[in-house]
Structure 1
Amino acid sequence: MWNPDVYLAFADHRGRPFFDLMGRVRAESPRRVVDLGCGPGNLTASLAQRWPDAALEAWDSSPEMVEAARERGIDARVGDVRDWVPQPDTDVVLSNATLHWVPGHAALLAGWAAQLDSGSWIAMQVPGNFDAPSHRAVRELARRDRWAELLQDFPFREGQVDDPAGYAELLANAGCTVDAWETTYIHELTGENPVLEWITGTALRPVRSRLSDAQWELFRQELIPLLDAAYPMRPNGKTFFPFRRIFVVAEVD
C-alpha cells in the first residue's frame, strides 16, 4: 500500500526531477499526454497546464494514489504499466520514478517506441541510487539473523536499472533520437531521521509489507544508527542526502 501523505512529505524534492525531465520534451501540440505512474497527481496536473488542449491519461498501480490524484481533479485509473497500450493519438508518454518497480521495463520502452507514431515522445526518469548508503544500510540490516528469513527477497539491489548509455542504446536501436543523462541531487533535509522518513515512503515499502507493526518499528529503530552514520546531521541541524537519478527523453523517428 502506498501512502500519498508520506510520499508527499518531500514533494518539493521529489518534484524537481519531474520538471527537469519534462523540460526536455519538446512536443508543441500533443493530442494525448500519458502519465504512467502518476502517483498522487500533484505533478500530473502540471502536464495539463503545459498542454491544456491535450487529452490527459493517467495510470497508477496504487488505488490509494489514484484516489489522491482524483481528489486533485485528475481522471486517473488503476492499472499496471505493463498492461498499458498507447491509443492512436498518443504523442507524449511520461513515466517518472516508476519503471524501476517493473522488472523487464527495458522491453516495455522498446515496445512503446515501436507502437508510437513518428514525432511522438517517450520520457522517463528512474532512481539510480540502489548502491547508495541508504540502500546498502537496508540490505545490511535485512541480512542479519533477526530479519534474514522475513526479508530474503528484498527487491532493491544493484542492476535494478540500466545506466544512461544503456537506455540510450536501447531506444536508439528502437528507432528514436535519444537524450539521456544522469544527475545527482544533493537534497538538504530537515527534521529528525529525515533519510529514514524519505525511504519509508518509497524503498522501504517492500520491507513494511513483510513485517508486523511491532517488527516494523523494531526494524526502523535498528536502521536509524546505520543511516545516521551514513548521513550525519550537519551543525545547522540539516542533513545532506545525495540522490542519483537517470533520465531518458526519446523522440520516435
Structure 2
Amino acid sequence: MTWDPNAFATIDVLRRRPVMDLTAALPFSLAPNTIVDLGCGAGQLSRLLATRWPLADVLAVDQSPAMLRWAADTPSRVRYQQADLTVWRPHWPADLVISAGGLQHVAGHERLFPDLLQALGPGGVLAVALPRPQDQTAHRLLLETAADGPWSDRLHGAWPAAQSIGGRSYGPQDYYDWLSPQATAIDLWETEYFHALDGDVPLLQWLHQAELVPVMDRLTGPELDRFLAAYRRRLETAYPEHSSGSALIPTQWLFMVVRV
C-alpha cells in the first residue's frame, strides 16, 4: 500500500515534510502487526499508521497528559498510554517502533535507542525523526522566556539537555555506535528545512506541540496566555517579517531507519 500524501492534511503543515520523509524511508516490504508510536503527541501519525495498516495493533505512548487528552478527542482504534519514556519500553516484540519529533527531550539516548532495538521482533524496524532544537535560536528564546517571568520556578528544568553527553550534543556517529552492534541495516541522515511563516504561525503552529508541551503541562489559563505572548514577542524580534510578508525559519532534523 502506498503512502497517501493527502492524508497529511491532518498534520500541522510544518511537521508534514519530516514525517513524510521518515515514512518514505521505511522498508517497502514492511507489513507490521504491532506498531508503537513513541512521543505520539496529539496522535496524528498514530492514526495514519492505523489507517495504512488496518490489521496492525497500534499503541501510541506519550509522557504528556495534555497531549494524550488532545489525542483522545479524535475517535480512532489507536490505543493510548501515558508513560515516562526514559524508562518505558515495549514488553513484547514490536514490528515497528516509530517516533516523529517525540524523543528530543527524553534523556539517556545511549540507553534508550539500544533498548528499543532489543524490543523489536525479527526483521523489525526502528524509525526516528529527531528534531535538533538545541541548535536553534527559537529554542534558546523559549528557555529565556521560561527563566524570565513569574513562571520560572514551575518551568525550571522542563527542557533537560536530553541530547547531550557532558555538555556535547549527540551526533550521528553517537547514534551509529549505539545502534550498529544490533542492527542489520542502518539508514542515517540529517536534513535542514526552511519554513516560510507568516502572521501568528511561528508560535501557534510551528512550536505548539513538542517544544511547548512542558509549558502546557505546567501553566494554565491567563498565565499560559501571558507566557505565550512573551515568547511570541521574542520570536518576532529574532525572526523579523520579510518584505514579502513572511519570516524564513530553519529547523534541523536527524533521521534514522534501523532494521534488526
Q: Structure 2: which amino acid aligns with 1:185?
A: Y
SS in 2 for 1:206: helix
Q: Deviations over 1:61-92 (max 9, x none)?
A: 3445445444331322223243232423x211
Change (3 A) 1:150 1:84: closer
Q: Structure 2: which amino acid aligns with 1:112?
A: L
SS in 1 for 2:35: strand
| Bigger shift: residues 139-148 or 115-124 | 139-148
Report the Cα offset of residue 250 of structure 1.
0.3
Q: Deviations over 1:109-146 (max 9, x none)?
A: 20121242331111111211223111122233444486
Does residue 235 of the first structure (1) align with residue 232 of the second (2)?
Answer: no
Unaligned runs of 5+ in 1: 1-7
Residue pairs, 1:159-198, within 5 angstroms = 159-160=163-164, 162-192=170-200, 194-197=201-204, 198=206
- For 2:4, the equivalent position in structure 1 comes to none
Does residue 75 of the first structure (1) align with residue 78 of the second (2)?
Answer: yes
- For 2:6, the equivalent position in structure 1 comes to none
- For 2:40, the equivalent position in structure 1 comes to 38
Does residue 101 of the first structure (1) align with residue 108 of the second (2)?
Answer: no
SS in 1 for 2:15: helix
Say if 1:36 and 1:60, in contact at 8 Å, map to a contact too: yes
Change (3 A) 1:180 1:157: same
SS in 1 for 2:14: helix
Taking structure 2 as the reference length, what is the TM-score of the superposition? Answer: 0.78
- For 1:87, the equivalent position in structure 2 comes to 92
| Bigger shift: residues 152-161 or 28-37 | 152-161
Q: Structure 2: which amino acid aligns with 1:83?
A: W
Give the number of equivalent residue pairs.
243
Q: Deviations over 1:203-231 (max 9, x none)?
A: 23334555575544444444334212221
Report the Cα offset of residue 19 of structure 1.
1.8
Taking structure 1 as the reference length, what is the TM-score of the superposition? Answer: 0.80
Residue pairs, 1:1-253, within 5 angstroms = 11-26=12-27, 27-70=29-72, 71-80=74-83, 81=85, 82-88=87-93, 90-144=94-148, 149=153, 151-157=155-161, 159-160=163-164, 162-192=170-200, 194-197=201-204, 198-211=206-219, 213-252=221-260
Report the Cα offset of residue 191 of structure 1.
2.0
Q: Deviations over 1:227-252 (max 9, x none)?
A: 12221112222222211111111011
